[in-house]
Structure 1
Amino acid sequence: MSMSDFYADRLFNALERNDPAPGMLLVAAPGMFSEEFNRSVVLIIEHNEQLTFGVNLASRSDLAVFNIMPEWLPAVAKPQALYIGGPLNQQSVVGLAMTKAGVDIDDTEHLNRLANRLAHVDLRAEPGDVAELVEGMRLFAGYAEWSPGQLAGEIERGDWYVTPALPTDVIVPGRTDLWGHVMRRQQMPLPLFSTFPADLADN
């Protein structure tokens, strides 16, 4: 079976579809061939006619935040490692946070609302000011980006499932398989695929 045949018969094609938007997740299809995006869970930060921009929540690096941006440690949730947000511009860092209950994101200067209790953090802010507002945050090196029409084509092909993010997705414990966790809370039959192996040779 060719790669194009495999993609053309994707599980996601048969499911009801949500539209991409800030605060939504792009969940990689089981068996995604791209090594960069296999079992990835991309949180969309920006989506417009020019581009779609987001970060993969599911790829933790071996680099400690302490060694890269130690001033942010009081706000960063455990494990306090730098995550790999995507293949582009890994010298840049993106901050995402789950806010404390009762914080009005729209009334804060350094947080941009993505969903209820889910925010994009302005890293030009004083870390201490942000730490007072958040339950926890993550720092992501690099990002993923799609040009006009590119993401729509990949969704149509069945590469991605679009679903609302939960604020806890950003700060899940290090032992959590986020891809499997997100799949298990979707409509049937997606929970049945939550243990799909990262490498088909393992199956």
Structure 2
Amino acid sequence: MSSELSAGRLLLASPDLLDPNFVDTVVLLLDVNDEGALGVVLNRPTALPVSEVLGEWGEVVEEPEVLFQGGPVATDGALAVALAAPGGENAAGFRVLWDRLGLLDLDTPRELVDGTVDRLRIFAGYAGWGAGQLEAEIAEGSWYVVPSRVDDVFLGDTHDLRRQVLRRQPGDLAFHATRPADPELN
């Protein structure tokens, strides 16, 4: 299953994952290598407007224009995931991860970014795993690894994102979309 791990894949928390940082989360993997993996939680918006923390970046982020809680690591830092405009993949401050999706350096002057990015979302913190840690969590059944879509990253209302992603999966995995939080109460 580790061959499925790559930038652009989604990790969906299984019902067996009880860590409060990750219950019901959808994590977008941004980097996977021999030293570990890094991603951001897509479905944890905060109430904090981006403009209050990062000024003019609040004018260009997707709705809702708030910071998202990207994970429990380095919560005082920010990662900006962006969709480059066609031809904007080589713009200043942009690092392609796959297709036109990548990371935008928020230290890049805004005027250099204007017109090069179609969509932007900013995450406070990230989720990280050391070498072999994520593979072990997958093997024990904590995560489902599935393909992503660009819209998953920039969805306006992320409340139901996990169920939406599960519903479109083939086979038995789609059935988990309708599973109650506690099947024993069923």
Q: Which amino acid aligns with 1:44?
A: L
Write the distance in 1 (CA, Å) between the matches of 2:123 and 2:52.
14
User: Over the residues paired in the alignment, what is the CA RMSD in angstroms?
Assistant: 2.1
Write the distance in 1 (CA, Å) between the matches of 2:112 and 2:124.
22
Query: Helix, strand or coil: the match of 1:93?
Result: strand
Aligned equivalent of 2:11: 26
Query: Helix, strand or coil: the match of 1:194?
Result: helix
Residue by residue over 1:16-67, the C-alpha shift from the partner in whole angstroms, topping out at 9 and shown as x without a partner, is 7752111211111134212111111111111111121111111011111121
- Give % identity: 33
Residue by residue over 1:69-100, the C-alpha shift from the partner in whole angstroms, topping out at 9 and shown as x without a partner, is 12102320010011000011110111001233
Q: Which amino acid aligns with 1:77?
A: E
Closer, same or farther: CA 30–104 of 1 in aligned 2, 3 Å: same
Counterparts of residues 174-185 of structure 1 (less than 5 Å): 174=157, 176-185=159-168
Closer, same or farther: CA 186–133 of 1 in aligned 2, 3 Å: same
Structure 2 alignment gaps of length 5 or more: none
Write the distance in 2 (CA, Å) between the matches of 1:49 and 1:17.
11
Determine whether 1:92 maps to 2:85. Answer: no
Which is richer in strand? 2
Determine whether 1:108 maps to 2:97. Answer: no
Closer, same or farther: CA 24–71 of 1 in aligned 2, 3 Å: same
* Larger displacement relative to structure 2 (68-77 or 128-137): 128-137
Question: What TM-score, normalized to structure 2?
Answer: 0.89
Write the distance in 1 (CA, Å) between the matches of 2:130 and 2:76.
21
Tell me, yes or no, if the aligned pair for 1:96 and 1:120 is still in contact at 8 Å. yes
Counterpart selection for 1:161 from 136, 139, 144: 144
Closer, same or farther: CA 116–176 of 1 in aligned 2, 3 Å: farther
Query: Helix, strand or coil: the match of 1:113?
Result: strand
* Larger displacement relative to structure 2 (149-158 or 190-199): 190-199
Closer, same or farther: CA 197–108 of 1 in aligned 2, 3 Å: farther
Determine whether 1:147 maps to 2:97. Answer: no
Question: What TM-score, normalized to structure 1?
Answer: 0.82
Q: Which amino acid aligns with 1:51?
A: G
Query: Helix, strand or coil: the match of 1:73?
Result: helix
Write the distance in 1 (CA, Å) between the matches of 2:24 and 2:124.
18
Closer, same or farther: CA 95–200 of 1 in aligned 2, 3 Å: farther
Query: Helix, strand or coil: the match of 2:59?
Result: coil
The CA deviation at 1:115 is 2.2
Determine whether 1:40 maps to 2:25. Answer: yes
Aligned equivalent of 1:7: none
Write the distance in 2 (CA, Å) between the matches of 1:198 and 1:94.
30
Tell me, yes or no, if the aligned pair for 1:97 and 1:134 is still in contact at 8 Å. yes
The CA deviation at 1:129 is 2.9
Write the distance in 2 (CA, Å) between the matches of 1:157 and 1:35.
17
The CA deviation at 1:175 is 5.5
* Larger displacement relative to structure 2 (52-61 or 27-36): 27-36
Structure 1 alignment gaps of length 5 or more: 1-15
